Each structure stands twice: as C-alpha cells, then as structure tokens.
Amino acid sequence: MATKSGVRISLNLARRFIGFWSEYTKSRIGVFGLIIMLSFIAVSAPAPYLTTYSIKASEGNIYEVLKAPSSKHLLGTDELGRDMLTLVVYGGRISLLVGFLATIIAGVLGTLVGSVSGYFGGWVDDLLMRINDIFLVIPGLPLMIVLSALLGRGIWNIIFVIGILSWSGTCRVIRSQVMSVKEKSFIESARAAGAGDTWILTRHILPNVLPLIVAQMVVQVGGAVLSESALSFLGLGDPTHISWGMILHYAFSCGALSSGYWWYLLPPGICVALVVLAFSFMGYSLDRIINPRIRAR
C-alpha cells in the first residue's frame, strides 16, 4: 500500500516536472540562463583537473608579472605572475559556493518565518513582521559591511552574513502566498479531517508555495554573488580563497585602474555579470510560469 502510493506520488511528480520543463523551455532566455549557469558550474567545479597553472600566491611566475593576454596566458597574468584564466576558473567555485549557500540560508529563514507568520497570523505575524520591517529598512550592504568587519574575514562569515541579511524579501512573498493558500477549501477539509497545524503546513501549504520559493531563491543566488563581490572588493573577503570578488579586489589594490591593466579587471567582472544575468533570466522565466497573468500578455 505504502509503496503503491509512493509510486503514484513519484509518477505525479515526474508528470508535473515534465509539464514544467516543457513550459520552461518555451522561454528562450530561460534556457539561455540555464545553459550559462550550467557551463560555469561545469568549468569551475572540476577546476584542478582543467587547469595547469597554480593559483598559490607563492607559485606565480615572477618573470611573467602583469602581462597582457598572450598565447601562453590567454587572459594575461596578475601582479604575482599567476595565470588569470586559471584564477577566474577557480574563482567561480568560491563565488558560486557563496551564492548557493547564502541563498539556501536566506531561503530557509525566509520560508520558515514567512510561512509561520502567514499561517498563524495574529500577534505572531505582527511580531515577525515588525522584525522583518527592521531588516527591510536597514540598508543591506552597510549592515553586511558592519557585520563582516566585526566577525572578521572568512568565507563562512561571508556566507553567514549574506544569508541572514537576505531573507526579508522572500519572507514577505512567502507570507502573502501562504495567507492566500490557507483560505482554500482543501485546507479546511484537511482540518476537518483532523490534520494538525504542522501537518497542514508541511503537507498542504508548503508544496503549494514551493514553486514560488524556488523562483525567489533562483533570483537571489545572483544577488548573493554580487554581494560577495562587493564585500570582497571593499577588503572584507577571505584572503585565503580566490573568488571573483577577491580577484577584483586585488586588481583595484595593485593599481590596475591607473595603469590600464584591462585584462585584470575584465574577466572576473564579466563572469559575475554573466552569472547574475543567468540567474535573473531563469528567475524571469520561472516567474512567467508561476504567474499565468504575465504569461497571457
């Protein structure tokens, strides 16, 4: 009996996924975004196996310092004689890792607070929303700067800081969605059948809100990558890990601007822009699927 219903559920899921997939692939920019994101992951994840140069600060070639792109170094070298292409490929790992992990923290927090707030209402909602207001009003980047400066430079600190300061928007969206779902009649019948709050929330409401959560999170990954680059640029990044933001930080601090070392500045910035763009494209397409009102136009 249990396995039978299990099969039915997974069949249902598969059918829903196929339906979703065919809807998603209708949007050209959505597919484009997905391809960009997957290519970045495909290149960055196996970085040690794809690159021949070292990214260790001590292992740069001191005879090849700040060289413009050539056949030997396709994207040139930095002030320590390291190969820029290799740095950028490695940088993607850290930037994307920060992006995904910070988004997961923010997504879980936002979903938790938003669904509790929207479902229970009353004073719980009031209290949580006032807290949410504080996070919405306080300017994000300055608070991130203050927290990072106090916590010290480290990759986990950055993930933590971006994660716990980026949930307020998601929380609002989830809350309003939960509020509308909980008024539906199937919730009432579940309650009449004796279902408790936790059961209703996890089994009936969350599955209905899930697409929205995913869409919200997809857009947020890009935001987190941008936040990481900004914090690193300001000198709050982790000096022991190379991210795109850290490469930009080194570029600015070694005077790449006034000396016109364009090859030092261009690659990491283009990578950030492409990844952020990819996630906004994907978010845009997901939004069209979730909000049929937009699709109709």
Partner 1 sequence: MGMREFLAKRILQSFLMIFIVITLNFYLFRIMPGDPVDIMFNPAIGPEAKAIMMREMGLDKPISVQYVIYLNNLLHGKLGYSFLEHKSVMSAILERLPSTILLMLSANILAILLGIILGVVAAWKRGTTVDISSIIAALTLYSMPMFWLGGIMIIIFSVRLRMFPIFGIITPGVSYANVWEYIADVGRHLFLPMMSFGIGTFGGLFLVMRNTMVDAFTEDYTLTAKAIGLGNRTIIFKNVMRNAMLPVITIVSLRLGFMVGGAILTETVFSWPGVGLLIYRAVMAHDYQMLQGVFLVITVLVVLANLMADIIYGYADPRVRY
Rule CB under 8 A: say whether 194 interacts with partner 1: no
Residue recorded with tokens 């249902």: 12
Question: Between 155 and 265, whose beta carbon lies closer to partner 1?
Answer: 265
Site for partner 1 in 96-135 (CB under 8 A): 133-134
Site for partner 1 in 225-254 (CB under 8 A): 226, 229-230, 233-236, 245, 248, 251-252
Question: Between 114 and 222, whose beta carbon lies closer to partner 1?
Answer: 222
Rule CB under 8 A: say whether 276 interacts with partner 1: yes
CB 279 within 8 A of CB 40: no
Phi-psi label, residue 153: left if phi above 0, alpha if psi -120 to 50, beta otherwise: beta
Question: Between 39 and 202, whose beta carbon lies closer to partner 1?
Answer: 39
Tell which one of 50, 155, 164, 265 touches partner 1 (CB under 8 A).
265
Question: Between 182 and 249, whose beta carbon lies closer to partner 1?
Answer: 249
Stretch that binds partner 1, among 42-50, 174-182, 205-213, 277-285 (CB under 8 A): 277-285
Shortest distance, position 248 Cβ to partner 1, whole Å? 6
* Binding residues for partner 1, total number by CB under 8 A: 47
Shortest distance, position 134 Cβ to partner 1, whole Å? 6
Residues 6-45: x/- map of binding to partner 1 (CB under 8 A)? -----------------------x----------------
Question: Between 38 and 138, whose beta carbon lies closer to partner 1?
Answer: 138
**Residues in the site for partner 1, rule: CB under 8 A?**
29, 133-134, 137-143, 145-147, 149-151, 222, 226, 229-230, 233-236, 245, 248, 251-252, 256-260, 262, 265-266, 268-269, 272-274, 276-277, 280-281, 284, 297
